């Protein structure tokens, strides 16, 4: 998510946590996990790389307890009236034109295969 132009990062985070997140949590019927990961610093992995800033301030994850894909179920997961309410509130703190939604498939390594978990 990208904050609205002219809004400080602190104001963006405060609004998201104290207004929008509670609103979304109260409106989305199948939402079972809702995370917001704020970008607090960044650097290119290759020291010689000349890269622009990431272009977003927060990664938001919405987890739903339903069968099927987003495309198959989006009207159940985010009914039109709920979408309208959330979109109206997003105008208060997001640059909605800069934001994207992606669907993902999660892969997790077993904890016993990670060196940090070996005693």
Q: In the chain, what are the domains?
A: 9-117 (3.30.70.100)
C-alpha 41 chain-centroid distance? 17
Task: Evaluate whether 31 touches 24 at the Cβ level (below 8 Å).
Answer: yes
* pLDDT score for 23: 98
C-alpha 79 chain-centroid distance? 19
> Which tokens sit at 85?
């309410």
Reply yes or no on whether the pLDDT at 118 is more than 80: no
Give me the residues paired with residue 36 across strands: 60
pLDDT tens for residues 65-115?
Answer: 888 888 888 888 888 999 999 999 999 999 999 999 888 888 999 888 888
> Which tokens sit at 56?
């977003």
Q: What is the DSSP letter of 93?
A: T
pLDDT tens for residues 13-48?
Answer: 999 999 999 999 999 988 999 999 999 987 766 677
pTM value? 0.83
């Amino acid at each position: 998510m990208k904050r609205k132009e002219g809004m400080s990062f602190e104001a963006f985070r405060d609004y998201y946590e104290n207004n929008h997140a509670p609103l979304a949590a109260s409106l989305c019927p199948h939402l079972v996990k809702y995370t917001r990961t704020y970008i607090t610093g960044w650097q290119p992995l290759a020291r010689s790389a000349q890269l622009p800033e990431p272009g977003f301030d927060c990664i938001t994850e919405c987890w739903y307890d339903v069968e099927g894909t987003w495309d198959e179920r989006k009207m159940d997961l985010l009914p039109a009236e709920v979408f309208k309410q959330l979109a109206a509130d997003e105008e208060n703190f997001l640059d909605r034109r800069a934001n994207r939604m992606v669907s993902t498939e999660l892969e997790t390594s077993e904890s016993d295969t990670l060196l940090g978990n070996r005693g």
